[in-house]
A and B are shown apart, each in its own frame.
Chain A
Amino acid sequence: MNFELLAQLTITGVVLGSFYALMGMSFGIVYQTSKIFHLANAIPFAAAGFAAVWSAETFHLPMFGAFVVGLLVAVIFGLLILVLGYFPLINRNATLLSLFLVSLGVTVAFPNLLQIVFGTQNKTLQVYGADGTLNRAFETQVYNVGFLTITQLDIIKIIVCWLVVLCVVLFVNKTRFGRSITALRTNPTMAAAVGINSKVVYIVVFAIGSLIAGMGGLFVTTEFVAYPTMALQWTLIGFIAVFFGGIGSLPGTALGGLLLGLVSSWSSVWLGVQFAPVVVFGALFIILLVRPQGLFGKAAA
């Protein structure tokens, strides 16, 4: 085994795994609080990317300004789905299947709407320079450390993703509101008894989840391009990270995501990098067969 290759693959795996962990956080916090299979988490992801590109071009915003707009749009769309799509059904005690079907409808309609409005070409994030011309917003620098290669964006990605994981975990465990999220999740009767408003908790949780999904979309847009169907595979990865890493455990989900990233990166030696989906699917398949609650999840009572 070529040590240099292994080391490089590990770096790639960590970068990938960090992004998986980010997407896992996004879906995880929404799913474990509300139990809704929120496939429509893909919408804030894509919306952020498109909003950033569009606002940079239209309003001559600098890159960070475009990011802010993107994140705002992501949160707004996520909350719209919750309030207009899910709440009416929850009020009627609808089944989780009905909620999923609403999510499905939104998930198929939105990217196609994007395609109608923005066309099918890939959208590069471009900002106006001092000379008034549109240039690509971010050109990543490549660093070579000995035999290893890593890009500037990779480093930023790792830092941001784990910062987000840390923030979310700290928020849930250390803040008063975060504790009310845990309260609602672990003991809904008692939560109602002390007056916790589940709708308010859902709104905050969805806002956080959509914000993080938006960050994911911005990463992909900045590093590559934005395109209508950009969100689904990453949204799915988020789901897999949760079910693989551990339902009901946010740190478990993050670690699960990291593990998935590493495993799929290492496996590219034998399978070729394009077959990474097979590895991820295989890992999920095995875990669900052997330990359905996930690697770090708690067994059902």
Chain B
Amino acid sequence: MNSSDGNLLEVSDVTAGYNKRRVITGVSMNVKPGEIVGVLGHNGAGKTTLLKCIFRMLSIESGDIVFDGASIAKSSSVKTVASGMSFTPSERPIFRDLTVEQNLELGAHSVRDRQAIKDRMGEVMELFPILGERRTQLAGRFSGGQQRQLSVGMALMVQPKLMMLDEPSLGISPTVVTKTFATIRELAAEKGMSVLIVEQNVKAMTTIADRVYVLRHGEMVLEESGDAARERSEWWHLF
């Protein structure tokens, strides 16, 4: 396996869209093992499209994507989970008509080992106690923040090398956002997991990011360290 400069994920000059719509143009970025990387940008900038391309839910027009040393530009999304990536959408990130347990079980859809599924479910419920308390309740009944916790739990069920979260702060109150992001940082450190977070909420993102990118109207317009981003005061022209 190539080393790819030690990058876990490398996106090179990717252009993609739907039919004739061009959403991202010539985008390049990377994620190193154990890193927390943020992709910031305005609504419609192409952040979700970028994640979907990486996860292989969307085909790319040109460019390449290399994950864990292997090019995945042409593979299908069914294999992506098994290869060590998880994807949590921004809206409806859980199955509302199923219970917490059933959701977590589905999160582990690609996992063969029954025992492993059981063990991991226990871990997730320890991490997010509310899930354990209400394990047989329908996920649709939960608050936004609790649904987010469940969605992160579902991602953890596959023990991903790279966890990808699309706007995890959407629809959650600021205090819960802070808590959620803190939990993500702890998890990343504990498990040596890389996390790629797409966000509009700049402040929350910069608190935990090692590096940030800014996507504007489909183009990458900035890459800087988390520290630099935390110092930055002028964001309007980037959005």
Note all chain A residues with C-beta closer than 8 A to B149.
Answer: none
Which residues B65-93 have CB closer than 8 A to chain A?
Answer: 77-78, 80-82, 86-89, 92-93
A182 within 8 A of B: yes
Flag if A195 contacts B95 (CB, 8 Å).
no
Within the complex, what minimum Cβ distance (angstroms) separates A190 from chain B? 6
Out of A176, A183, A192, A197, name the residue touching B95 (CB < 8 Å): A183
Beyond A182-B97, A183-B98, is A189–B92 a contact (Cβ under 8 Å)? yes
What is the CB-to-nearest-CB distance from B99 to chain A, in angstroms, rounded to a whole number?
10
Digitize B105-124: 1 where CB-to-A-CB distance is under 8 Å, 0 elsewhere: 11111100000000000000
Does the CB pair B92–A190 fall under 8 Å? yes
Q: Provide the B182-221 mask, 1 if CB < 8 A to any CB of A, else 0.
A: 0000000000000000000000000000000000000000
* In the assembled complex, B154 has its CB within 8 A of some CB on chain A: yes
Residues of A within 8 A of B22 (CB): none
State whether A183 and B96 are in contact (beta carbons under 8 Å apart), knowing that A194-B81, A194-B154 are contacts in the complex. Answer: no
CB distance from B97 to the nearest CB of A (A): 6
**Nearest Cβ in chain A — how far from B57, in angstroms?**
5
Once the chains bind, are A190 and B89 in contact (CB under 8 Å)? Answer: yes
CA distance A13 to B176 in the complex (A): 57
Nearest Cβ in chain B — how far from A240, in angstroms?
A: 26
Q: Decide if the interface of chain A is mainly helix, strand, loop or mixed.
A: helix
Q: Do residues A190 and B81 form an inter-chain contact, with CB atoms below 8 A?
A: no
Answer whether residue B94 sits at the interface, using C-beta atoms and an 8 A cutoff.
yes
Evaluate contact between A195 and B105: CB separation under 8 angstroms: no
B107 CB contacts on chain A under 8 angstroms:
194
Which residues of A lie under 8 Å from residue B106 when comparing CB positions?
179-180, 183, 194, 196
How far apart are the CA atoms of A268 and B89 in the complex, in Å? 54
Residue of A whose beta carbon sits closest to that of B81: A195
Asked whether B102 is an interface residue with its Cβ less than 8 Å from the other chain, the reply is yes
Contacting pair A193 B96 (CB below 8 A) = no
Q: Contact string, A161-184, partner B, CB cutoff 8 A, digits 1/0?
A: 000000000000000100110110
State the A residues within 8 Å of B (CB). Answer: 176, 179-180, 182-183, 186-187, 189-190, 192-197
Query: What are 30 A-B interface contacts by the 8 Å CB criterion?
Result: A179-B98, A179-B105, A179-B106, A180-B106, A180-B109, A182-B97, A182-B98, A183-B98, A183-B106, A186-B97, A187-B92, A187-B95, A189-B57, A189-B89, A190-B92, A190-B94, A190-B95, A192-B57, A192-B78, A193-B55, A193-B86, A193-B88, A194-B81, A194-B109, A194-B110, A194-B154, A195-B77, A195-B80, A196-B106, A197-B78
Q: Please report B residues at the A interface, Cβ cutoff 8 Å.
A: 55, 57, 77-78, 80-82, 86-89, 92-98, 102, 105-110, 154
